[in-house]
Amino acid sequence: MEQVKITLQDGSVKEYPSKTTLLEIAESISPRLAKEAVGGEVDKHVVDLKYPIEKDAFIHILKFQDEKGADIFRHTSAHILAQAVKRMYPDAKLAIGPAIENGFYYDFDLEHRFTEEDLEKIEKEMLKIIKEDLDIERFELPRDEAIQYMQERNEPYKVELIQELPEDAVISFYKQGEFVDLCAGPHLPSTKPVKAVKLLSVAGAYWRGDEKRPMLQRIYGTSFPKQKLLEEHLHRLEEAKKRDHRKLGKELDLFSIQDEGPGFPFFHPKGMIIRNLLEDFWRKEHMQRGYEEIRTPIILSEQLWHTSGHWDHYKENMYFTKIDDLDYAVKPMNCPGALLLYRRKMYSYRDLPIRFAEMGLVHRHELSGALHGLMRVRCFTQDDAHIFMLPSQIKDEIKGVIDFVDYVYNLFGFKYYIELSTRPEKSMGSDEEWEMATNALKEALVEKGLSYKINEGDGAFYGPKIDFHLQDCLGRTWQCGTIQLDFQMPQRFDLTYIGKDGEKHRPVMIHRVIFGSIERFIGILIEHFAGKFPVWLSPVQAKILTIADKYNDYAEKIARQFKSSDIRVELDSRNEKIGYKIREAQLQKVPYMIIIGEKEMNSGTISVRSRDRGELGSQNVEEFIQKVKEEDKNKVLPE
């Protein structure tokens, strides 16, 4: 029998008979590996465990702990959900059901509206299907037969998907028991490994994301190979609900989204304090690093967006207007404005690098269903910077930005990981330019000693990029910072500088953000700190609480002393019990509560209570002021 050479992830090579499956290979390595395996990669192509290997290959057995392994597991869970729904509601029409981060969903077209009680019943049916241990089998059909097969099963959405595929395409399906679904796969070998499932919610979703198409019902769920893992995940979800920035934003009076402006956030006075403090910090740090701040208009000529390439790659997300019968666009990005400012004069090679920084307001059209508090909005302020440099300066500038990003994220207590995103399908420029740009980013990361993942095909249309994914205290990740290297825009805008040789040369450009957007970053901070901001960011740093009216004059004197020392203070002199006042201040997450009674008035001191550490006792006023100012200056994180 013909043999094939299999290279394992550790570099070892083994021989197996041709058509040996991945599951059989896993069993030959270790029974435990076979038990934990959910799928595999063959020459970096993700496949089922039943996949037969017919030629020499590099393989990687995937477990649930692997990102791609979890996707296989959750994708199978989505099929189990669809099978359960079809059993209970035979008239339901199937749309799509992918794995998503930490879970899965499936979209259904059904006249009956799903309720919370329905989700519980569907969940029980899913557990029944799992217990049945149904084999999951893949089969393929030619395109015309596949269309007829789905028409016979009365699945119009599946028919539409197949009709969009090439005529010579071979269409794959997956079958488990009586249930069949159009799917590229891969999947688990059977339904049995999905030990723990939970359906979380139901929401509306337009078919293909198009507001003109039918509104479907989307059921969200999650699944795990062990009940304990599910319970831990549900606990994190409960904690996340408590930290939801929309809930806390309302309770702490920071921001709101009004019906008159869906997707356009309103910042309240306390929210503006946080925002201004972040922007002040941003300006100071940029000035120290040689950036010059600019401001560019919100509305610019439509022709500019043709020149930049945004028209071809981004117009469906843009807003447009007419001025004096001419076409204009509301900017979705800040970079064209920075390019125009560079182009206004001629630079020498001695002037470079030029570092422009801008807190630039941009507008992007988002579907109403995608809007989410401050995390997904239609207008936001990017903390943009655009660096124009010599080719010889690329690596040092990238390393400088990496150091800057690292400094900022560490200040807030964020861990992060890095992805390097490469050329997308829709892009501008030559292969040579893309290779040069990608290699420059790789070399900078290597020289900084940073590990990173490759994110194939997810670069910007004008260049590859480094993305920074923040991890908050619940382990959730948020993509915020990015460094994008661009050889295209300087060409399209005909930017030049005078080189040593007296001739004109083309500069290279970096686009970068650190916060990402100030609105979204504030949303992340609210959830990361659960509203308990560090002293330097707290809208109110200290709240003075009087035990009785006769202590109000002394309390007002202390408040004036705090204000003159630039401490943000509020005075609560209402005729309420002190316990009630303390509870209210605690709910407002104020770092310090100052209790004023007879003892404090007579001794000229204050009694201090910490939000995080409880009672701190009697303190000298000046010493307390100095302590708060030190915490503010050093940007100390909450305990």
**Which residues are known to be catalytic?**
335, 364, 382, 384, 386, 465, 511
CA atoms of 302 and 335, how far apart (whole Å): 14
308, 492 in Cβ contact below 8 A?
yes
Q: How many CA atoms lie within 13 A of 492 on its CB side?
A: 20
CA atoms of 481 and 468, how far apart (whole Å): 5
Nearest CA to 392 out of 428, 423, 352 is that of 352
CA atoms of 634 and 630, how far apart (whole Å): 6
The one-letter code for the residue type at 460 is: A
**Gyration radius of the chain's alpha carbons:** 29
354, 339 in Cβ contact below 8 A?
no
Q: Which helix (H) or strand (E) holds 390?
A: none
213, 157 in Cβ contact below 8 A?
no
Q: What is the per-residue DSSP string for 188-244?
A: -SBSTT--EEEEEEEEEEEGGG-TTSPEEEEEEEEEESSHHHHHHHHHHHHHHHHH-
Tokens of 227: 């009940």
Nearest CA to 351 out of 495, 497, 490 is that of 497
Q: Which helix (H) or strand (E) holds 573?
A: none
CA atoms of 532 and 555, how far apart (whole Å): 25
CA atoms of 197 and 79, how far apart (whole Å): 12
Cis peptide before 353 (omega within 30 of 0): yes
**Crossing angle, helix 552-564 and helix 621-634, to 10 degrees?**
40
Write phi, then psi, for 525 (nearest 5 degrees): -60, -40
